[in-house]
Chains A and B, each alone.
Chain A
């Protein structure tokens, strides 16, 4: 029989969450990330990318001679918890905050970093995030307002006249749907079905039957990873045969892995891909696979490059200064030649949106195949 004290100790030990403690000389970085809940698939990849980069940077001597100490805090994919995590994080006075990944979580928590004048590198893609005058908020991937025109251009180029849209009812999905609708309208492409789905939805039979009825030339699907995989499985199960088009997530490595053969034939614009014809990206993919025995998706690349972006900006400044960090990053450009950890040339505008080359892909035999490399928008 266990004594009460032993039971209490065991209970406390079981509840204790292992966290990195910060030493005086460490560069404190706190990662507000989705490690459970509906965003776990994205958040776990991001965390692994961050950890890989931190390990490499520290092994190479850190940033300006100081080591990075990273602390991952699970926001459970809930906006209010993400805000609470951010509020607690700023009390520790981190040099930079990372995350969240889900746009809804970013939307609610981003003001905390702004008030504390702490640069925040986040993974959200909703267009509105960087349109609110935030001075300390930066993206690690394309905004929907950068990505959707490329998808719409592709649809127009391939002769698509009408589209059925299926999207997930959260900030990410709604933002993507609104941006895409605007781009399609501008090109005269008709939206003949416009269907929202729930985060965490399991059964898509009714949605598939509805879009199959719609007189659309193609389907545009915009959801998070788990939902995309289940949706693709349902599409194939019910024999949907029209072209399936997406933006980044739908053709991501994680969705391909989860959906299996159901992902074959999907076409998408992707901002980041480990299959990109780029030796630095391919070397990153090899290292990620060796470290975690799983292929990285775009969220892994986002997390990895976020750490190297901190390094690049700090080395450019020559000192650690949060305010200067933000002002330096606005309007800055970095080349992958000088900063290999960034993997690709990248530039930031005054809103914190980034620009770099991107790709059109098709999933063939369970793999992303790059069909076209698109130049950065600034180079068109």
Chain B
């Protein structure tokens, strides 16, 4: 039972990081119909930007994160929208998907050239101590990750459901034409979605890199898992991303511990296939009809 609790907590921590990245997928899809396959690299890049601010620039971690957040908003939010999505989206979804795949390769190789293909250590944001709860020894780092990631998801949900801007963003996601008629500045709402996506990616980088270590290809696995999580939970539901992420993280741990570590990486793929076959809109998603 104690092992089980440890597995659930550490799986939830891993899953919460998948969920943060998956939220980026769902937000961009809802706001602009963008499928972003460079999401893993959008987590990797802030990790290296933070390393730059910590190392050569000599900033302490909190300031380095703040500076990275700013750069991410500009480059991965505003820059990504203006330079990649806006010019490509008018040609349809497929060219945009290909563009994001190209962007992912460019970002990886760019970081490889700038920082080398080596792996880099990254400062931990939480204490490395253990808490003893009910006989189970739980990592402060895992609990901290769950709290930060969970808090962000709750804050985002509150923002989307309880504020005027959030509701306007949802209106844009549901029907752009109707939102325009209602006087909502659609372009601004879409931009907000890109900025939130960039902020989520930078935060994910802060949470996962101390454990995964910084490497130019660190986004490969994370991006893929986040994509699976978004599909499993429901591509058109932010809550779905949370469910999908946590489900993948926890089940990976349980399968790894009780079946075999060798099957662990297959969990997300099996869930993904099951959802595609039996509930294609995702566990919490709503079926969408589109005119063709």
Contact = CB atoms under 8 A, between A and B. Distances in A.
Interface of A: 35-37, 40-41, 44, 169, 195-198, 200, 202-203, 205-207, 209-210, 212-213, 225-226, 229-230, 233-234, 236-239, 257-262
B213 A36 contact: no
**Considering the complex of A and B, which 5 residue pairs feature the smallest CB-CB distances, nearest first?**
A206-B256, A205-B10, A239-B137, A40-B117, A206-B257
B257 A44 contact: no
Contacts of A259: 121
A206 B252 contact: yes
A41 B215 CA distance: 11
Contacts of A237: 10, 128, 139, 141-142, 211
Main secondary structure of the interface of A (DSSP, over half): helix
A238 B141 CA distance: 10
Contacts of A200: 221
Contacts of B56: none
A226 B213 contact: yes
Given A230-B211, A237-B211, A239-B139, 5 more contacts: A196-B262, A206-B253, A226-B119, A233-B210, A234-B211
B135 to A, nearest CB: 12
A28 B91 CA distance: 53
B212 A205 contact: no
Given A210-B257, A234-B211, A236-B128, A44 B118 contact: yes
Interface residues of B, number: 37
Interface string B109-143: 00010001111110000001010000001010110
A206 B215 CA distance: 23
Nearest to B208: A202
Contacts of B117: 35-37, 40, 44
A250 to B, nearest CB: 16
Contact of B261 (A206, A226, A238): A206
B32 interface: no
Nearest to B249: A203
Contacts of B137: 238-239
A238 B6 contact: yes
Given A233-B211, A237-B211, A239-B130, A44 B116 contact: yes
